[in-house]
Amino acid sequence: MAVRSVFDVGAMTREFENAGIDTHFIASIWHVIQNPTNPSLDGVPSLPSKVYELLRSKFTPLTSSLTSVAESMDLSTTKLLIRLQNGASVETVIMRYDTRLGKYDGQPRPGGQRSTLCVSSQVGCKMGCKFCATGSMGFKSNLSSGEIVEQLVHASRFSRIRNVVFMGMGEPLNNYSAVVKAIQVMTGYPFQLSPKRITVSTVGIIHAINKLQDDLPNVNLAVSLHAPSQEIRTQIMPAGRAFPIEKLMDALLAYQKKSEQSIFIEYIMLDGVNDQEQHAHQLGKLLQVLKVVINLIPFNPIGGLSSYKSSTEENVISFQKILRGMYNIRTTIRQQMGQDISGACGQLVVNLSEQRSVGSASLLSDIEDICI
Residue 346, pLDDT score: 42
- Burial annotation 279-314 (CB, 10 A radius, 16+ → b, else e): bbbbbbebbeebebbbbbbbbbbbeebbebebbeee
CB 350 within 8 A of CB 310: no
Residue 360, pLDDT score: 33
Report the predicted TM-score, pTM, of the whole model to 2 decimal places: 0.88
What pLDDT, in 10s, does the model give residues 295-353?
Answer: 999 998 776 667 899 999 999 999 999 999 999 999 999 876 444 444 444 444 544 44
Q: Which residue out of 118, 125, 129, 345 is catalytically annotated?
A: 345
Q: Where are the beta strands (DSSP E) in 185-239?
A: 198-202, 220-224
Average pLDDT per 10 consecutive residues for the chain, totaling 372 residues = 90 97 96 80 90 95 95 89 95 85 66 88 93 85 98 95 96 98 97 98 97 98 98 95 97 98 97 97 98 94 76 97 98 69 44 38 35 36
Rounded Cα gap, residues 276 and 236, in angstroms: 16
CB 44 within 8 A of CB 30: no
Catalytic (active site) residue 345: yes
Catalytic (active site) residue 150: no
Q: Which residue out of 91, 150, 171, 368 is catalytically annotated?
A: 91
What pLDDT, in 10s, does the model give residues 210-261?
Answer: 999 999 999 999 999 999 999 999 999 999 999 999 999 999 999 999 999 9
Q: Is 232 left (phi over 0), alpha (psi -120 to 50) or beta?
A: alpha
Residue 371, pLDDT score: 36
